[in-house]
Structure 1
Amino acid sequence: MPKRALNICMVSDFFYPSMGGVESHLYNNSQCLMQRGHKVVIVTHAYGNRQGVRYLVGGLKVYYMPAVIVYSNASLPTFFGTFPIFRQIFIREQIDIVHGHQAFSTFCHEAILHARSLGLKTVFTDHSLLGFADASGILLNKLLKFTLSDVHHAICVSHTSKENTVLRAALDPQQVSVIPNAIIAEQFEPDPGARDPNWITIVVLSRLVYRKGIDLLVVAVPRICQLHPRVRFVIGGDGPKRIDLEQMRERFMLQDRVELLGSVKAADVRSVLVRGDIFLNTSLTEAFCIAIVEAASCGLLVVSTKVGGIPEVLPRYMVTFAFPGEDAVVEALSQAIARVDDRPNHPELSPQRFHSQVKKMYSWHNVAERTERVYSQIIDIEEPPLIERFRRYYGCGLVAGKIFCLIAAIDFLIGAVLAWLWPKEQIELAQPFASEKYQRTINQNRLRHHHQ
């Protein structure tokens, strides 16, 4: 148990009901931190009718704030417009640490800025890799430099991601920790009986977008089907590239060998994975890739492009790598198909062995424990004077530094005005969640259900 129970606010634009690695990380890490005695609340934007305050399993409290969505679930930047509501939440929940997730999240950057104006401790977790040459990368890198100039600690999900973030934000590497993603291995048990013995099934589960290498998939599928008559594909996921897959299937008349499932719910991921022999990931950039861990846990041999932090994730006997090119992906898949054909003669490729190895390697309880260590390092750091914060922002660039100083100064003044309009003492504190009563009720319901 922790030496000191903390009140933590996780902030990101990306959370349930949306699905993805960031959403999974937020939910599972928060649940494990709560089990370790901390209080955790999550702040995200509203998703359709899911607005206001909601409680999830275990008493995890989520604030679904109103926001205008501009692209891929990211909210419209307002700079200072979210300050009043963030301040209310931080004070109501008596927050000690504000932990922002994902460089693409507007809420994350704004929450960290406002938290620093209120003198709160801040942590940032980067789940992505970005380049240095394209316009979007340059703009996001400058924004990241602004946010991380005044953050107490940064976390990355792989060593490659750490190198990328340190370079992008010009950070001291000692200020950045590597804490990987994880899975709940019990939810991804192998089921050899679910496979069709007449086929070698290749499973793809991904958002169907350019970054996930769907263009590579479109050209590789017909070539593999031509080379290997016993191979079929099961592709789950949705996105703008789905139309390309449908056109490919029609053009090569592969309706009986390429199954497009569309969007797959989180609860159904395992049932799709266990149908397969091989899992294919064609990402063009990836900081970690939680999908290949889930696939390996279900006993699938993995074929993946060798990009980003992916080579750090699994042992070599579980994965065959390919450079992100058409010929390389086809060759790697052919090698994997040959290994699957010969699997009975290779006990190291046993699905149950894959599962037990992954279970030992990745645990959300371990992730929470390591995150807790980061919190304990920063919680008692003395707050620097305002002039020191300005000095950090000023070092962000000849022009950008002055703009960042101006933004920080305005935010600090808005904080002072809000403190005058709504004094801290007049804000009603949130009642603590009755976790013991909740757990007692859950146990009683389980017993009642068992007896019935």
Structure 2
Amino acid sequence: MSDLHILFLPSWYSYSRFPMQGIFFKEQALALQRAGLKVGFIYPEIWGVRTLLTSTGIDDPPRFQTSISEYDGLVEVRLKGMALGPTWPWVTTWSARRLLEEYSRRFGRPDLIHAHVAVWAGVAASYLPLPYVLTEHWTGYREGLLGLWQKPLVRRAFRKAQARLAVSSALARDIEPYTNGLPVEIVPNVVDTEFFVPPPSRPNPPPFRLFTAAILNQRKGIDLLLRALAHLIRNGQDVVLDIGGEGPEREALVLLARDLGIADRVNFLGLLSREGVRKAMQEAHLFVLPSSYETFGVAYIEAMACGLPVIATRCGGPEGFVTPDVGYLVPQSDENALATTIHDVFVNYHRFDGNEIRCYVVRRFGSDAVAKKLITIYERVVSRRAMGC
């Protein structure tokens, strides 16, 4: 049992329109809380001017005022503000400092900060008067999204952190140019294995029910999945696909399903609640997500916690946990390989043991496993700090 007081500082987080955004930050904090730590959140909710002008996702205008709420014993202190592009890190830093002062005044001074994502929580943490640990989750390194002016700030965030973490080995390699040769430890996202559980029973195929859940953008490869599904159906396979999520590609994907002649075999479920995701996973036989890149891939792990085998592409994060006992890895952008692999799972479905798949997830990604890793890191950081190291 640890008596540490940890303050989470995420770069993005849930809000009214998207309550599931950044849910893995909250689940990690809850895992630490169950392990006996005191955990709170500060969140500089900074909006871009373009978003404000289009009123997308904004319930009330940002006024740089703090608000305090509580969720399952986790105190959250946030400030809603706005910034132009180059001012974003400085507005975030100013907001984080103000939030830290308010949080400390009300709830006590934390032992350390756990910042999530260098852009811009990690940068803000580097200017705060507390030691901090920095976990990276962002896909932008692989995609080349950092501007020249941003790179020195990101290097500072990693250099000044007392520990640098990444959610997968693939992401650790992506951030190497910014870590100044300092070590990066791998700590995966936590999955709530008390919530994501197998159903009492699963209907026997046919039909063979596939499920995917993602933001519907090009990177997730849902168009590839639809083409693979069409190939299977043309070859007499009794397969249906449920798609959870919304995004800019939804309309194009609906039209593609219609053009492929499979619209009656595809269900667009829209944006699902956490309960909705679990229900769809419990009703499915296989989870498939052929992304072009994943820093981790929490949806695969949630599906596996529900006892589902999974199919992923060799796209980073999933390569660290998808083994032949729990599913398959396929090449990216290969609809024939994807269709063949889905068929193989259908034919050999009996060889996958849902209980064993779930146990694998609990051992590696359950609350206890991830909390134990984090507490070891926190205690090391606090101990070194106390010794002046």
- What amino acid maps onto 1:78 in structure 2? W
Give 1:26-425 correspondences, 5 Å limit. 26-45=25-44, 48=59, 52-57=67-72, 59-68=73-82, 76-79=88-91, 81-82=94-95, 85-89=98-102, 91-92=104-105, 93-104=108-119, 106=120, 108-115=121-128, 118=129, 120-131=130-141, 134=144, 136=146, 141-173=151-183, 176-191=184-199, 193-195=201-203, 197-327=205-335, 330-344=336-350, 346=351, 349-382=352-385
Q: 1:85 to 1:309 in 2, by over 3 A?
A: same
For 2:9, the aligned partner's letter is: V
- Give 1:318 deviation, angstroms: 1.4
Per-residue CA deviations over 1:389-437 (Å, capped at 9, x if unaligned) read: xxxxxxxxxxxxxxxxxxxxxxxxxxxxxxxxxxxxxxxxxxxxxxxxx
Q: CA deviation at 1:384?
A: 12
Q: Alignment partner of 2:160: what SS? A: coil
Q: CA deviation at 1:224?
A: 3.4
Q: Which runs of 5+ in 2 are unaligned?
A: 46-57
Cα contact 1:184–1:364 (8 A) shared by 2: yes
User: C-alpha separation between the residues in 2 aligned to 1:69 and 1:310?
Assistant: 35
Q: Whole-Å Cα distance in 2 between the matches of residues 138 and 225 of structure 1?
A: 48
How far apart are the structure 2 equivalents of 1:110 and 1:128? 14
Alpha carbons 2:313, 2:332 under 8 Å: kept: yes
What one-letter code is carried by the residue in structure 1 that aligns with 2:112? I
**% identity of equivalent residues:** 20
TM-score by length of 1: 0.73
CA distance in 2, matches of 1:238, 1:220: 21
Q: 2 CA distance for matches of 1:321 and 1:138?
A: 35
- CA deviation vs aligned residue, 1:211-267 (integer Å, no higher than 9, x gap): 323343354343333234311111110111111111112223322101000101112
Contact 1:320 1:332 in 2 (8 A): no
Q: State the partner residue of 2:50.
A: none
CA contact (8 A) 1:213 1:283 kept: yes
Does structure 2 conserve the Cα–Cα contact (< 8 Å) formed by 1:232 and 1:258?
yes
Q: Secondary structure at the match of 2:264?
A: coil
User: 1:262 & 1:288 partners in 2: Cα distance?
Assistant: 23
Distance 1:260 1:11, change over 3 A: same
Aligned-residue RMSD, C-alpha? 2.9
Give 3-state SS (helix, strand or coil) of 2:132's partner: strand
Distance in 2 of aligned mates of 1:70 and 1:337:
49
Change in Cα spacing, 1:220 to 1:114, as seen in structure 2 (3 Å) is same
Contact 2:243 2:269 survives alignment (8 Å):
yes
Higher helix share: 1
The 1:191/1:333 distance shift into structure 2, 3 A limit, reads farther
C-alpha change, 1:38 and 1:352, in structure 2 (3 Å) is closer
CA change 1:298–1:133 in 2 (3 A) is: closer
The aligned length equals 366
Task: Work out whether residues 227 and 260 of structure 2, in 8 Å CA contact, stay in contact via their aligned partners in 1.
Answer: no
Deviation at residue 351 of structure 1 after TM alignment: 2.0
- In terms of mean alpha carbon deviation, does 300-309 or 125-134 score higher? 125-134
Which letter maps to 2:31?
A: C
Change in 2 beyond 3 A, CA 1:24/1:83: closer
| 1:11 counterpart (3, 9, 22) | 9
Distance verdict in 2 for CA 1:199–1:294, change over 3 Å: same
Distance 1:203 1:132, change over 3 A: closer
Cα–Cα, structure 1 residues 382 and 363, in superposed 2: closer, same or farther, change >3 Å?
closer
Q: 2:280, 2:364 → 1: CA distance?
A: 23
Partners of 1:182 and 1:362 within 8 A in 2: yes
Q: Which segments of 5 or more consecutive residues in structure 1 lack a partner in the other structure? A: 386-452
Letter in 2 for 1:339: V
Task: Give the corresponding residue for 2:23.
Answer: 24
Q: Distance in 1 between matches of 2:83 and 2:206?
A: 46
1 CA distance for matches of 2:355 and 2:96? 50
